[in-house]
Structure 1
Amino acid sequence: MDASEVCPTVDAIRAFLEYLVDPLLQEDHSTNDDLPLSQHEKVANQVHAVVLLNNYYHIKLNQELAFLPYREFCKIIVDLRPSLSAYMKFMLQRDYAELVDVEQQLSLTEKAIMSSHDICLSLDASKNEPNIEGWPISKVAVLLVDSKKENSFLRFNSFTDGVWSLIEKDVDTSDQISEVTSEIKSPYKRRRVIMTRSKVILNEDQLLQDGYSAISEAASVNSIDMMLLGSYTVYSQSKERAASRFYIMKCSQSIVEGFTKVPIKDLIESFWGPLVKRSSSSWKTTSLVKYFQMLPYSEIISEWISREAFSNSLQDLKLAEKQVSKLEVTESHVSSKGLYIDLDNKLCRCFIQYFSKLESEGCASNVMDQGQQDRPKVFKIDVRKNKKDRKQIGSHA
């Protein structure tokens, strides 16, 4: 992406607000006392998404952009959408006040902004991947696919309005962290240094059961109808310095109610591209925003389906080789132009279908270069290398 095509921060936030928050805003409310709690909760949840999209994913795409500090972000969104002032409390005070009590001084929306701000800081968009070592598992997430592994079952408007999501469930982290005490003897002084650090202890069986439970609650499917295809640990978007346990599971049942069947191929294609693009004289969100809650899992999903496609292609190739070994030459003769062999038409069709399949699925290069390529980078908004002149990350102040 050329520098001239980089969407400025304010324009990006405006586009995110337009898609995620504007449908909830009401112009006829001037104070937050007039709004029901449910409305405050909805707006706070949507604004949480806006912060993540701008302060992590948009910056991850465009490293030259600056991380927005908490106060500055609050000021920008109120300037862009004055009706959001009804959802603010602390920042509307005329006199500068020190933030002492978060629970008492901040509104729900301001708390959501601060929480997502801290999440973005811990993820650090300047890094290709966040360092999640030692982070407790705060939730389980499941990608449910059909028996043929061709379609996924997703939910829309489940956690964030206007956004697709997996099956997710929060888990208790209190029993995952224990203190480990170690003693270090100093070679220069006759004393011992006592150090205490945290260690994450995971109960894999319990986390898997939580995954099955999440499916059962969301889709009314029993664990006996599930088959585990893969398990992974990735960063969480909903809690600071926390991870998610991600499962890919195959379901033998047909799930309809509350879910939409999305072809996995279409899902992978949705991870490509920018978050915002220019439309006439303004900037608009792309379809990637609808899938932003799946971005922590996008690379894993893409690699998994690539392996599946490669495995299937190898099986097709082996089948073709078997047919070659059984092939009988139906007619052959020598002419002035050389040897002519009339091959079985079925075999020809087999090869044509095989290579057409590779080309249509984009797997041809994977088959040719398997084992030579580095691990592909997906959430397919291309992450560029960090620039030496990257601006300083902001803080709450």
Structure 2
Amino acid sequence: MLQIHAVVLLYNYYHRKQFPEHEYLHLVPFCKVAVNVKPSLLAYMREIPTLHLRSLLKNQLTVTEKLIFDACNTCISLDASRVAPTMEGWPISKIAILVIDSTEENCLLLPSFTTEGVWSPIERKLDNSYNKSVNKNKRRRTTKSPLGDNLNADNSGFQRLAFASVKETKGIDQKDLIILENHTVYSLSEDKTSTLVYVMKCTKAIQVDTTLVPIRSIVDSLKGPLVQNISGNYAVCQVVGYFQLLPYADIFSDWLSRELLQNNGENVKTELCSSREKPTSTTVDRNMGSTSNIMSGKVDANNRGERCMGGLSNVLCLSQSLDEGECSVVSLTNEDKNKVTQSIPIDRDDVEKVKCYKRVTRSRSKNKVEHSKAASMIDKLQVNVSGKSDEMEGVQEEVVRHKLQIGSLEKQVSQLRGCLEEKGQRLLESMNREKQVQASLATAEITLIETKKHYDLLLESKQLDVKEICQKNDQAISDIRERFELEKLEIANFEKEKAIKLLGDMERKCDQKLIEKNEDLKQQLMRVQKEHSTLIFLKEHGKNESDLTTIEELKQFQLQAQVDMEEKTMLLRLEHDDQMAVLKLQHNDETQKLKEELTLLKSEVNALGKSEEMDGVQEEVVRHKLQIDSLEQQVVQLRDCLEEKEQRLLESMDREKQVQVLLATAETTVTETKKHCHILLESKQLDVKECQRNDQAINDIRERFELEKLEIINFEKEKAVKLLGDMERNCDRKLIENVEDLKQQLMRVQEEHATLVCIRTLSR
């Protein structure tokens, strides 16, 4: 089912990227098109009209529908209208490893595990825990970096996974692998995720079982359309076989262009050196002193530059090496350059190489200005370094090394010339083959047109004959069908009438029996109703008896309450009388004491007269008067409390009298109800016995009625089954007879048709 995921991505993203005018297919239209092309996919899908509603709830989609839905979402996020998707904030969900052999010309590929017939590199999915450590603002693709540069904790973990996956799949150890590049590209397996790509070089020879594909052929196969129209039939192109390598197309093309730049730069340099005449070597010898001094200063400058410019790419290193080679070689004339360029044949395939070389020359011209400034600095340094012979020897060794490099470059130029000549011959051969193929195609098209015309005429004549025969056969078959249907309707109507009559008789008999039994049931219901009324009367009598018992219990409780109240009131009265007597005695004692004190005070006052102590005595008299007043107030309060208690006692006595009256009335009603209840109980006991007898009689009648009903139903069912069996047998016989007649008629029609065909063929 992952094949359909690949089909959605190929059409909605890659095909529409080449042809933007084509319509984008969402989930519902894509499913409709897929079902029309391949109806067997219906088994893996539910109802298509409800697909849009189910897409809102992902749990309602099937596995294939979910794959199509996810692929459509990835196509939307990739956006075919853009040159490259924006991958800001996309987490890394997968690691891909492009293993290159020691020659750096072939790449190791494996058959894909997810989609059949497709090549893929070594891949490994990541867990969600790895995605947290990746920077969200990572660029689409990082620049080329060696193994020791720009490594942090995240990259080290990814590198371990990459080495482990290579060892698991192909058994190549980490010591035999060198990481040349790492890139970040978009992922096709999940929506809004990226893939971390490692380009590794295998230093040892790769096993024979593995498939090594040239990088040039990969780049060529990743170009062009996905589908091609060949003589009216659409065929899948080679790009589909490398479908999973399409996200890495830029990596392969950049790798190839870098190799071409290096090879072209070296070849052009050797061509320039070889085209020079021998006398120019004297000028080189004359200028060796100056160039050696310049080179010595340049070595120091390069050593300083290497410390500062450690992270430059290989393309810039290539341009610098070309500029250093030019410092040791005298510039050629324009005529020599024209001769060299005329001697190199230019093919269509090498146009890109020339463009790349032009870019390098432009960058070289810019660097010459910088080198002129550096030369002025070197002249100043030359005065200080002139006495150092050791440095001169090092420069001479470098000159010798440059000469050896020039010789190797000349050899490479000669090899390139041979390759270019071979390519020219191959191009001529391919052009001749194309002409031959075009001529053969033209002749084939002419013959096809003539044969098509001839076959069209034959088809038209045969179609007319077949139409006439079909019309006659259709008329005969329609007549036979009409006759058969009429006979079938007549038989069915006749049998229906018979069945209706039988059913009517059965219904009448059943109605009569039901009427009789309904009358019996009505009589039984009357009896039951009478019994029910007697039972209700008995229940009411029981309720009245229970009411009488409750009333008697209430009376007993009330009597007990009255006795308790009387006892409590007597106790309260006694306590109240005792308290009053005690208070009166206390009050009398206090009054007597106060009177005695007053008499004593008066006698003392009279004895003392109007002395100075008179003031203190008066104060004591005033204090005693205040105490007397307070005692009188307390006595008044006690009297008020006694009056309130007496009023409450009177109210309680009135309530007791009312309760006694109510109890007397209740006793009279209870006695009357007891008499009435005894009478009702005797009558209800008699009625209960009669009800039990009636229930037994009703149960017996019901059992008899059900038995009779079952016997009647079984008897009628047997009759109906017999009638239906007879009707089915008659219908089957008539149908068999009609079918045999139809078969005979069809045989006749077929014989007539065969004779007509034979006659027409003979007449032709």
TM-score range, shorter chain: 0.5 to 0.7
Alpha-carbon distance, 1:358 to partner: 8.4
Q: Contact 1:158–1:164 at 8 Å: present in 2 too?
A: no
CA deviation map 1:43-73 (0-9, x unaligned) = x110000000011111111111121111111
2:261 match: secondary structure: helix
Q: Contact 2:28–2:48 at 8 Å: present in 1 too?
A: no
C-alpha distance 319-54 of structure 1, shift in aligned 2 (>3 A): same
Report the Cα distance in structure 2 between the residues aligned to 1:202 and 1:118, rounded to whole angstroms: 32
Report the Cα distance in structure 2 between the residues aligned to 1:321 and 1:61, rounded to whole angstroms: 42
2:129 match: secondary structure: coil
Corresponding letter in the other structure for 1:125: A
1:365 paired residue among 343, 351, 355: 355
Q: Contact 2:88–2:137 at 8 Å: present in 1 too?
A: no
Report the Cα distance in structure 1 between the residues aligned to 2:166 and 2:277, rounded to whole angstroms: 47
1:102 paired residue among 58, 66, 69: 58
Q: Contact 2:185–2:247 at 8 Å: present in 1 too?
A: yes
Matched, 1:70 2:60: no
1:58 paired residue among 15, 18, 21: 15
Matched, 1:113 2:61: no
Could you state the TM-score of these two structures normalised by the residue count of structure 2?
0.35
Alpha-carbon distance, 1:314 to partner: 2.1
Number of the residue aligned with 2:224 = 273
2:131 paired residue among 168, 172, 176: 176
Alpha-carbon distance, 1:320 to partner: 4.9
Corresponding letter in the other structure for 1:263: P
Report the Cα distance in structure 2 between the residues aligned to 1:325 and 1:270, rounded to whole angstroms: 41
Report the Cα distance in structure 2 between the residues aligned to 1:122 and 1:221, rounded to whole angstroms: 36
Alpha-carbon distance, 1:304 to partner: 1.7
CA deviation map 1:96-121 (0-9, x unaligned) = 85446534x32221121111111111
Corresponding letter in the other structure for 2:88: E
Report the Cα distance in structure 1 between the residues aligned to 2:61 and 2:208, rounded to whole angstroms: 38
Could you state the TM-score of these two structures normalised by the residue count of structure 1?
0.65
Matched, 1:214 2:204: no
**Root-mean-square deviation (Å):** 3.5
Counting only pairs closer than 5 Å after superposition, residues 109-258 of structure 1 correspond to structure 2 as 109-177=64-132, 203-256=154-207
Number of the residue aligned with 2:671 = none
Report the Cα distance in structure 2 between the residues aligned to 1:355 and 1:213, rounded to whole angstroms: 47
Number of the residue aligned with 1:293 = 244
Alpha-carbon distance, 1:368 to partner: 2.5
Alpha-carbon distance, 1:210 to partner: 1.9
Alpha-carbon distance, 1:269 to partner: 0.8
The answer to which structure has the higher strand fraction is 1
Q: Contact 2:133–2:154 at 8 Å: present in 1 too?
A: no
Counting only pairs closer than 5 Å after superposition, residues 30-49 of structure 1 correspond to structure 2 as 44-49=1-6
Residue identity over aligned pairs, in percent, reads: 34
2:255 paired residue among 275, 280, 304: 304
Report the Cα distance in structure 1 between the residues aligned to 2:134 and 2:192, rounded to whole angstroms: 17
Alpha-carbon distance, 1:150 to partner: 1.1
Q: Contact 1:149–1:250 at 8 Å: present in 2 too?
A: yes
Number of the residue aligned with 1:81 = 38
Corresponding letter in the other structure for 2:180: L
Alpha-carbon distance, 1:244 to partner: 0.4
C-alpha distance 283-360 of structure 1, shift in aligned 2 (>3 A): closer
Report the Cα distance in structure 1 between the residues aligned to 2:187 and 2:219, rounded to whole angstroms: 20
C-alpha distance 256-361 of structure 1, shift in aligned 2 (>3 A): farther
Higher relative contact order, chain-length normalized (CA < 8 Å, sep 6+): 1
Report the Cα distance in structure 2 between the residues aligned to 1:295 and 1:358, rounded to whole angstroms: 27
Report the Cα distance in structure 1 between the residues aligned to 2:126 and 2:362, rounded to whole angstroms: 39
Q: Contact 1:178–1:199 at 8 Å: present in 2 too?
A: no
Alpha-carbon distance, 1:366 to partner: 2.0
Number of the residue aligned with 1:377 = none
Report the Cα distance in structure 2 between the residues aligned to 1:156 and 1:207, rounded to whole angstroms: 23
CA deviation map 1:85-141 (0-9, x unaligned) = 12223x3577985446534x3222112111111111111111111000111111111
2:266 paired residue among 294, 302, 315: 315
Q: Contact 1:234–1:244 at 8 Å: present in 2 too?
A: yes
Q: Contact 1:143–1:248 at 8 Å: present in 2 too?
A: yes
Report the Cα distance in structure 2 between the residues aligned to 1:258 and 1:77, rounded to whole angstroms: 38
2:207 match: secondary structure: coil
Deviates more, 1:238-247 or 1:157-166: 157-166
Number of the residue aligned with 1:384 = none
C-alpha distance 281-138 of structure 1, shift in aligned 2 (>3 A): same
CA deviation map 1:271-313 (0-9, x unaligned) = 2111111111122111111112111110121012111221133
Report the Cα distance in structure 1 between the residues aligned to 2:137 and 2:17, rounded to whole angstroms: 29
The answer to which structure has the higher helix fraction is 2
Report the Cα distance in structure 2 between the residues aligned to 1:249 and 1:213, rounded to whole angstroms: 13
1:64 match: secondary structure: coil
C-alpha distance 94-273 of structure 1, shift in aligned 2 (>3 A): closer
Q: Figure out how many residues of one structure are paired with residues of the other and give that number.
A: 293
Alpha-carbon distance, 1:173 to partner: 3.2
Report the Cα distance in structure 1 between the residues aligned to 2:355 and 2:83, rounded to whole angstroms: 24
C-alpha distance 357-144 of structure 1, shift in aligned 2 (>3 A): farther
Q: Contact 1:171–1:210 at 8 Å: present in 2 too?
A: no
Report the Cα distance in structure 2 between the residues aligned to 1:101 and 1:355, rounded to whole angstroms: 66
